[in-house]
Amino acid sequence: MNMITDTQTAEHFKKLRPAMAASRAAFGALLLRDLTVLRKGLGIFIARTLVQPFLLVFVFLYVFPQIGQGIGGGGGANGESSFATVLVAGVVALSIMFQGIQAVALPLANEFGYTKEIEDRVLAPLPVSMVAIGKVAAGAIQGLIAALIVFPIAAVIHAKGVHPNLTVNWVILLTLIPLTCVMTSALGLFLGTRIAPRNIGLMFGFIVLPITFLGGTYYPWTALAAVKIGGFSWLQALVCINPLIYVTEGFRAALTTAPHMQLYVIYPVLVGLCALFLWVGIKGFYNRVLS
């Protein structure tokens, strides 16, 4: 066999750009492409960001108090106010979560589908893993925007006499939001690459819905200690497998003075989930685009 070289010798070969520079440029361009698509669909993006938190806040904090269907242990306006406090953190957390999953998993289902339109981006001159990370970065940016849109609504809309007690801890808030945005987008990458494109609709029923209802949106995790079988707080233990619980509890810590899960649990778990979802997500991405 002749020895074949893996260096370029002949003069008609195209001059290569250094791998790092080419990758950086391509990564930036992929991000720009995703943001362009976001800008084109900005109206829908905002609507889809608003509809869920709006409904939650409207029903629980506006309608319920007025029809006398109070929620909250204390009863009356006090109980409603404390529920409002619980819900604000939950709504912000939920919105970021939804955004992360929707912004990454749903487009991927299209792009992996029959036409494989992801191919042109996979053929851009950067490592395939960077294409996947670019998807997560774009999703995280969308989550960030969603957080900015939702927070005011959650804090402002409520019936007369119902006041969420918000005390913002900026250090927690400003570290938690980016961490959450990346974690949920990485979760979106994981789901989008592991669920067959034609089954992506099932994701909402079987994954997103349980995550939502068992994610501490409507109640603080600490309160779940009261749900017991034979002295064991089983539900409090069970929901620990739900990534959302760490996010809602984190926002509870960031926005209220109410009891919450310990921060020394929340941060390491969120960082760990980021790493885990990125790892399995990137592996899943490889499996989808390469054969």
Partner 1 sequence: MPDTTSTKKPAPNVSEHPMMDEVIRCEKLTKLYPAGNILAVDQLNMTVHHGEIFGLLGPNGAGKTTTVGMLTTLVVPTSGKAIVGGIDVVAHPSLVKQVIGVVSQTNNLDRSLTVWENLYYHGLFFGMKSREARAAADKLLVEFRLTERAKAEVMAISGGMAKRLQVARALLHSPSVLFLDEPTAGLDPQSRLALWEILRKLHAEGQTILLTTHYMEEADSICDRLAIMDHGHILAVNTPKGLKESVGADSIVTISAAGNLDALAALLKEKIEGATKSQRVDNVIQLHIKGASGVLPKVVSIAEQAGFNITDLSVAEPTLETVFINLTGKELRD
In this chain, which stretch among 29-37, 49-57, 83-91, 238-246 interacts with partner 1, using CB under 8 A?
A: 29-37
DSSP state of 229: B
Site for partner 1, residues 78 to 107, rule: CB under 8 A: 107
Determine which residue in the list 74, 75, 127, 201 makes contact with partner 1, applying CB under 8 A: 127
194 binds partner 1 (CB under 8 A): no
C-beta of residue 128 within 8 angstroms of C-beta of residue 122: yes
Can you tell me which of 50, 122, 157, 235 binds partner 1, judged by CB under 8 A? 122
Shortest distance (Å) from residue 121 CB to partner 1: 7
Give exposure, 44-74, as e/b (b: 16+ Cβ within 10 Å). Answer: ebeebbeeebbebbeebbeebbeeeebbbee
Q: Is 68 left (phi over 0), alpha (psi -120 to 50) or beta?
A: left
Q: How far apart are CA 8 and CA 93, in angstroms?
A: 52
Query: Which of 68, 115, 152, 230 is close enough to bind partner 1 by CB under 8 A?
Result: 115
Among 23, 52, 175, 222, binds partner 1 (CB under 8 A): 23
Binding status of residue 39 toward partner 1 by CB under 8 A = no
Minimum CB distance to partner 1 smaller for 128 or for 240: 128
Stretch that binds partner 1, among 58-66, 68-76, 122-130, 239-247 (CB under 8 A): 122-130
CA atoms of 259 and 143, how far apart (whole Å) = 26
The residues near 172 (Cβ < 8 Å, ≥ 6 apart) are 250, 253, 254, 263
Say whether residue 42 binds partner 1 (CB under 8 A).
no
Q: Six-digit token pair at 238? A: 């069970």
- Helix 76-111 and helix 128-156, axial crossing angle in degrees, nearest 10: 160
- Binding site residues, partner 1, CB under 8 A: 1-10, 12-14, 16-17, 19, 21-23, 25-26, 28-30, 32-33, 36-37, 40, 107, 110, 114-128, 289-291
